[in-house]
């Protein structure tokens, strides 16, 4: 905590402040710093569990403090200063000289310099190269922005007081901080601001440097069949993971990852030159000697030249090594694309949070809110037994498990169990047998392992304000072993279950896609046009359909579909008692229960959802309909107003069906549209839950295709070409220095041609 204008003096002791859990560092006003006896002063307090140390006063004429502290293996220097209004230029110059000396002596530290500078005439901003400023003050005061700019510092506070002035400034050596007002100002000219200090470093297992020989020897020393034979499924899985985690601790090194404050193309020599330039600039400012200026000027020119060389080499490497090192090339592309990094301060329904753990819990609260907490009554769902003979178990062998492990080659992502795909791939010949034993034990007993039910969730930005939690969607990260198990089960039952799905379902099925769905739909409309008829379509939107699947109803659906034991019990176990946590900034939220839904990202989830809504065909009697997963549209050829009433009848039936299934529609996003080529179309307002649906007059986007009312696709072609042209402009900008044809062609095919071909635009 940093306070300015403390008004403290010798008669006020540290204990009188009530900050008993903090080490307190003070610089009270004295006759050396001001002609006034009252006012002024600076205080810095650091929690006692954080190691801290005061840097001795360097300039007694300035009310300032510098404190060293260490946090999460990182070293910081935090400074506080109070510079009164209308103070002399020499006071500013004296303080900035102190800043330069400390920056040189502690060059490996992260700096946070904050205080009341009383410089309302300077405008501050930052760009990728550092500090940007403009001043209306006397040029002599420019020593403040000039020095901080030369040190490559950033000014991160842009919050003004009630008079529109920016008096409190926060200079940092790493542009990774966000500043927020935490409460109404006690003093009208000064708001209380909060600067969350976070450490971007984290530790992880370096699977590339793992001792796979000793890991293999250790795992092969087990008699897995005997080990698992007397254990239940969960105990067997825990025993297996104990062995795996023992291997991690003993044979996989842990390394620390630290995010550099410099761009990725900075070489070690260029970074060293930055510090040399800083030191030379400080020497010149102190001595004003021409020789010192010449040295600084030489280093500055050398820095600019080497900077251009390093950037050119970085571009050439990414361009020339696209085949041997594609990761570096695509990293270059991603860094040039617009990104939406998660800010350190977020809010949900007016509740703000800056603490990493609180941010994670805030996201967890939002993502948990979509689940169904209450069961639908048993009498609300009825469905007859379907005459299908579906599997009661799954058949696969050790070779199938090894083949699935082989598909994890090059997968470096780490699941919630701490294992990467590459790690499992490298040990595939060792792990395939114990995993096969575990999978068989799980299926035969009808119990899915509890350890594999834990999912990690990361928030992904959609659109809007990046600080508003509601503008993010969750992406689940499952363990690789759990997903591998699901894929084996799915491959074993896919053919049988696919035969039971209704023809109208085009999502996640072999031989079906969004293209086939749109072809069937377009063919129906063209047939209606040939008969001079119009087609009315109602596009529906399920509210969080995959997350709100009621487990008890899905269990009945699976039973009525023809699944037998023990596979039926295994499915129920797979769905129940699942848990998740949200992970942001390498911090995890509290673990929460997932009471409904099918697991996001699971191989079985699309199939389970398709089976869940498979009986919708029994309630639609008049209209045609098509499904792509949970995207449902109802449509009917309209010749008379009575046809509209028939379509409305089916809409009502679908709404009642959804209620019985525990689902609900997001009525605001549901809408209708009429396709016609006649001069006198039939107009009708459709309703859903007594709510009139929005009517789209000219165009509608459906599964990536822009449909216009006459089905001539002019709007779709224009939209796709516009999108491709924007991407082409982006590529032209980032590739202006490329010289080789191969990377240009690769980027064009990946970003531009793919847009044109994916949406059905072909040129002759």
Residues 236-243 have a mean pLDDT of 94
Model confidence band, residue 186 (pLDDT cutoffs 50, 70, 90):
very low
Say how many Å lie between the first and final Cα of the chain, rounded.
Answer: 68
pTM of the complete model = 0.69
Looking at per-residue confidence, does 295 or 188 come out higher? 295
How far is residue 65's CA from residue 29's CA, in Å, rounded to a whole number?
A: 12
Q: Quote the pLDDT of residue 188.
A: 47
Q: Structural domain boundaries of the chain?
A: 2-194, 268-336, 374-381+500-550+596-711, 715-758
The model's pLDDT over 274-333, given as tens digits with 9 standing for 90+, comes to 888 888 888 888 888 889 899 989 998 998 899 889 888 887 877 777 666 666 666 666
Q: Quote the pLDDT of residue 204.
A: 82
Burial-class residue 209 by CB neighbours within 10 Å (0-12, 13-18, 19+).
exposed
Model confidence band, residue 417 (pLDDT cutoffs 50, 70, 90):
very high
Q: Quote the pLDDT of residue 763.
A: 45
Burial-class residue 489 by CB neighbours within 10 Å (0-12, 13-18, 19+).
buried
How far is residue 510's CA from residue 69's CA, in Å, rounded to a whole number?
A: 59
The model's pLDDT over 78-121, given as tens digits with 9 standing for 90+, comes to 999 888 887 888 888 888 888 888 888 888 888 889 888 888 77
The model's pLDDT over 44-81, given as tens digits with 9 standing for 90+, comes to 988 877 778 888 866 667 888 999 988 766 788 999 98
User: How does DSSP assign 569-618, residue by residue?
Assistant: HHHHHHHTTEEEEEEETTEE---EEE-SSPPTT-SSHHHHHHHHTGGGGG
Under a CB-based contact definition with an 8 Å cutoff, are residues 78 and 42 in contact?
no
Coil, strand or helix at 69: strand
The model's pLDDT over 685-735, given as tens digits with 9 standing for 90+, comes to 999 988 999 998 888 988 888 898 888 888 888 888 888 888 887 777 777
Q: Quote the pLDDT of residue 139.
A: 55
Lowest mean pLDDT among 297-311, 399-413, 458-472, 588-602: 458-472
Lowest mean pLDDT among 111-125, 153-167, 263-277, 459-473: 153-167
Q: Is the pLDDT of residue 242 over 70?
A: yes
CATH topology assigned to domain 374-381+500-550+596-711: Alpha-Beta Plaits (3.30.70)
Model confidence band, residue 403 (pLDDT cutoffs 50, 70, 90):
very high
Residues 19-32 have a mean pLDDT of 80
Q: Does domain 2-194 have CATH number 3.40.50.620?
A: no
Under a CB-based contact definition with an 8 Å cutoff, are residues 540 and 632 in contact?
yes
Under a CB-based contact definition with an 8 Å cutoff, are residues 84 and 134 in contact?
no
Question: Would you give the distance in Å from CA 386 to the centre of its chain?
Answer: 42
Q: Quote the pLDDT of residue 466.
A: 77
Model confidence band, residue 151 (pLDDT cutoffs 50, 70, 90):
confident
Name residues whose C-beta falls within 8 Å of residue 416's C-beta, 6 or more positions apart in sequence.
454, 455, 456, 477, 478, 479, 581
The model's pLDDT over 365-383, given as tens digits with 9 standing for 90+, comes to 988 888 887 554 444 555 5
Residues 636-654 have a mean pLDDT of 96
Coil, strand or helix at 517: helix
How far is residue 76's CA from residue 70's CA, in Å, rounded to a whole number?
A: 6
Q: Quote the pLDDT of residue 53.
A: 86
From the list 489, 435, 482, the residue with the least C-alpha distance to 454 is 482
Cis bond before residue 150 (omega within 30° of 0): no
Residues 150-174 have a mean pLDDT of 75
């Amino acid at each position: 905590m940093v306070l300015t204008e403390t008004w403290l003096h010798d008669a006020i002791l540290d204990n009188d402040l009530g900050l008993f859990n903090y080490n307190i560092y003070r610089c009270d006003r004295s006759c050396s710093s001001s002609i006034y006896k009252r006012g002024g002063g600076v205080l810095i307090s650091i929690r006692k569990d954080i190691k801290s140390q005061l840097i001795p006063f360097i300039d007694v004429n300035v009310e300032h403090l510098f404190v060293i502290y260490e946090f999460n293996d990182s070293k910081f220097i935090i400074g506080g200063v109070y510079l009164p209004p209308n103070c002399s230029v020499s006071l500013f110059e004296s303080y900035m000289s102190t800043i330069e000396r400390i920056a040189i002596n502690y060059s490996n530290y992260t700096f946070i310099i904050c205080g009341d500078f009383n410089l309302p005439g300077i405008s501050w901003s930052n760009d990728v190269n550092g500090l940007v400023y403009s001043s209306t003050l006397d040029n002599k005061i420019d020593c403040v922005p000039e020095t901080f700019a030369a040190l490559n510092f950033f000014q991160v506070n842009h919050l003004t007081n009630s008079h529109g002035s920016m008096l409190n400034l926060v200079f940092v050596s790493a542009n990774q901080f966000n500043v927020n007002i935490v409460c109404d100002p006690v003093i009208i000219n000064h708001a209380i601001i909060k600067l969350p200090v976070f450490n971007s470093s984290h530790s992880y297992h370096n699977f590339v440097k793992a001792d796979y020989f000793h890991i293999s020897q250790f795992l092969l020393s087990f008699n897995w069949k005997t080990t698992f034979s007397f254990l239940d499924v969960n105990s067997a899985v825990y025993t297996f993971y104990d062995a795996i985690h023992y291997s991690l601790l003993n044979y996989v090194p842990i390394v620390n990852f630290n995010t550099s404050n410099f761009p990725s193309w900075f070489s070690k020599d260029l970074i060293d030159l930055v510090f040399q330039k800083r030191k030379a600039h400080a020497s010149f400012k102190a001595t004003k000697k021409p020789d010192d200026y010449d040295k600084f000027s030489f280093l500055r020119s050398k820095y600019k030249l080497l900077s251009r060389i390093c950037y050119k080499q970085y571009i050439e490497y990414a361009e020339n090594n696209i085949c041997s090192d594609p990761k570096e090339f695509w990293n270059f592309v991603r860094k040039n694309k617009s990104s939406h990094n998660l800010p350190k301060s977020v809010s949900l329904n007016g509740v703000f949070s800056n603490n990493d753990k609180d941010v994670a819990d805030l996201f967890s609260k939002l993502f948990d809110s979509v689940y169904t907490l209450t069961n639908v009554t048993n009498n609300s769902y009825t469905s007859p037994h379907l005459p299908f003979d579906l599997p009661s178990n799954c058949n696969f062998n050790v070779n199938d498990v090894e083949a699935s492990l082989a598909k994890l080659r090059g997968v470096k992502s780490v699941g919630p169990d701490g294992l990467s795909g590459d790690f499992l791939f490298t040990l595939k010949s060792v792990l395939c047998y114990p995993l096969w034993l575990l999978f068989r034990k799980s299926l035969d007993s009808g119990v899915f392992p509890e350890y594999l039910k834990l999912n990690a969730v990361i928030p992904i930005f959609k659109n809007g304000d990046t600080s508003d939690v509601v503008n993010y969607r969750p992406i689940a990260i499952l363990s690789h072993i759990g997903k591998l198990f699901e894929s084996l089960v799915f491959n074993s039952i896919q053919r049988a279950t696919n035969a039971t799905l209704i023809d109208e379902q085009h999502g996640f099925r072999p031989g079906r896609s969004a293209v086939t769905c749109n072809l069937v739909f377009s063919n129906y409309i063209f047939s209606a046009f040939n008969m001079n008829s119009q087609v009315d379509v109602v596009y529906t939107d399920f509210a969080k359909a995959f997350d709100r699947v009621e487990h008890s109803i899905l269990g009945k659906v699976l039973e009525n579909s023809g699944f037998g034991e023990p596979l039926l019990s295994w499915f129920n176990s797979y769905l129940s008692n699942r848990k998740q946590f949200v992970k942001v900034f390498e911090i995890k939220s509290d673990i929460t229960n997932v009471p409904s839904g099918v697991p996001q990202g699971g191989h079985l989830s699309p199939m389970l959802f398709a089976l869940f809504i498979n009986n919708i065909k029994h309630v639609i009697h008049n209209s045609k309909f098509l499904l792509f997963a949970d995207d449902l549209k109802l449509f009917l050829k309209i010749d008379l107003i009575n046809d509209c009433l028939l379509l409305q009848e089916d809409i009502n039936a679908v709404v009642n069906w959804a209620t019985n299934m525990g689902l609900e529609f997001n009525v605001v996003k549901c809408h209708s549209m009429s396709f016609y080529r006649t001069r006198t179309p039939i107009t009708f307002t459709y309703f859903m839950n007594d709510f009139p649906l929005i009517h789209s007059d000219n165009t509608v986007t459906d599964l990536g295709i822009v449909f216009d009312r006459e089905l001539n696709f002019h709007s779709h072609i224009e939209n796709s070409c516009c999108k491709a042209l924007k991407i082409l402009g982006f590529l032209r900008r980032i590739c202006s220095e490329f010289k080789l044809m191969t990377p240009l062609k690769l980027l064009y095919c990946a970003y531009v041609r793919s847009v044109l071909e994916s949406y059905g635009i072909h040129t002759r």
